[in-house]
Structure 1
Amino acid sequence: MKPFDLRAQKLVICLGPGGVGKTTVSAALAVHAATLGCAVDVMTVDPAPRLLDALGLEQDSSEPVEVVLDEVDRGRRRKTREHARLRALRLDPKRTFDSIVARYALSDAARDTILENRIYRNLSGALAGVGDYMAMEKLLELAANPATDLIVLDTPPATEAIDFLDAPRRLLELLNSRAITLLSAPSGIFRSRLRVVDMAARAALAAFDRVTGLNLLSDVQSFVRSFDGMYEGFSARAARAQDKLRASDTAIVIITTAESSRIAQAREFVGALEGAGLRVSAMVVNRVMSELPDAAELTSARIAPSLRKKLKRNLADYAALKTREEASLTALRDSLPAGAILMVAPDLGREPRTIADLSEIGRSIQQG
């Protein structure tokens, strides 16, 4: 089977359950691609503080920031492309939504109306679905840069990732829904249509407004109508995002560990992705144990008998763990989707805290 070649991809999407090192592996792949001569952007959703430090990011780094690669051994960096570089950013859904409104609003007045609307102010920062789609908007923005060879996208944990990848389709459904058509219509037409088609909904909304005094219905209508002229653009970009996720040069990579429960989650995840029409390109098993020393070395070692006995016992325990790990890897290898590649990332033996650590992880990932 052909090896997984980062340089042949335009987009790598890293998915996996929480706690398996998904964000770290995403950053490591990005650093490694940069050392191979690629111009890389890595976008992470919720990095740990140590990873923010390693990438040189602040908590509010919502725009690409150049990552200094001086820690990486220059002797290992291939001079295949003069424009090789690495940029990193942390997704900020609200800032991204604000920038989309500012860029595509039909006028300054329309922009200000949307940004000041109380429905928008709550919606743009509070709903997970908004964050999912804003990641796709940011992805399209990064992909529009012709100087970028590769984008590495870190995603939310697996429990949310299907929704994350399904965001463009859901947005298209919303924009084509009867609710948007009704809410964006002039008030007189809206009342007429709602009276005929949705009398119960109208009564419920009216009662809610009377009780709360929030004028929710009129605020929602005002919010929806303020986007007039922008829906077509949102729809076109959502369709482009859908195409991007399924492009031949997009690789979906699942990150897991060798624990049986994590592998079971990864298998379920593969099934869910296939059900959504998304192809898995590779799976990375993170924190794989290193090869164990030969037990015979302990017999000839010049150490106290009591220490030798303890070391032999520890080695036997690790050997049992290694055997279980190998069995898990074999089962996983046999159950991979057609064409998918299994790769392993050996345990670094310490928490990765620097660019050099990330580079080491990226280099160590090998086909298994």
Structure 2
Amino acid sequence: MITKKIALPLKQAIRNIFSEILTQFMNYLLILILGLVIGAVVMLFSGKDPITAYAALWKGAFGNWYKLADTLDRSTVLILAGLAAAVAFRTSVFNLGLEGQLYIGAMAAAIVGFEVTGLPKVIHITLCLLAGIIAGGLWTLPVTYLRQRWNIPVMVPSLMLNYIGILFTGYLVSFPFKDPTATMAGTPVLESTARLPKFIPGSTINIGFIIAIVVAILVYWFLFKTKIGYELRIVGFNPSFAASSGMPVKRSVFLAMLISGGLVGLGGACMITGFFGRFLSSFSAGYGWDGMMISLLAQNHPLGVLPASIFYAALANGALTMQSQTGVSQQVVGMVKGALMFFVTAQLFLNYFRGRIRKWKLTSAE
């Protein structure tokens, strides 16, 4: 009898979890479909066949094992940037400095990669990745200090540090760390012991993709299965309630920024040690900004970041094939991304106003 009483609430809890997952998945799928429909409408007005164009885009992203591998490799940095944004946004810390933190983390990994020699491969790679994590996290400290000391919102100083980080690394590769044999501003080539091993010969995919997946699982566990992660989410949901409950709000903001910078710094390190093999100025195609959009698309859920990042990588990789085979401009992909952000933002506003209306009704009833 007792077993039955316990089993019923357990079954109901499992049903509730699956219902929530299904609802989030359907919302996610609906947003994706609407974004693709907007792109299709633009193509129709341009006199192009959207079915043929999207088929070419699919072929360019997943047409064979090498293209699939390249798409997954491109998603590595997007996953880590998306996770960085998700941790910050979950804590209501709007870290807009991901791009600068990406550059700083990549630069630190590159320096360790070409300056340090004579190490075993596993140790050298580990040091490069740790350098990226530490440098990316440390780059957030000025922003956190301004937030804690004078209560300055993190948005403006983190945004300004983007430009400082990009220009600072540009100076480093143009003068003190410039490779004199290179035709463009960049560091010397990394030692072979600092390069991430590849899965498929002839492709770009390396173990950085596996690292990104493992990190996504760890971030999920941290946010939803630990006390500190619970505190971060409560601070993000209601800072006033968290403060009145005795939760360390300042510590939570500090940790969120530090972890966020470390994650995107790891993304930069994976790019340098895995794909480029050296630091190049302007190596990023706005991956930090894409990470923010990916996080919003995934509703700031660490596991949702995985498919959202692969989708974004597929759009980027398939766009060139779509243009060459069908004549549809790559700019259409940008329109699809913009449409996705519009629908995500609209959903956020709707949820906000629903919450306000619900709160007003409860207050009126009292």
Q: State the TM bucket, normalised to the shorter chain.
A: under 0.3
Structure with the bigger RCO (C-alpha within 8 Å, sep 6+) is 2
Which structure's residues are more often strand, by fraction? Answer: 1
Larger fraction in helix: 2
The alignment's TM-score, normalised by the length of structure 2, stands at: 0.21
Greater Rg by CA? 1
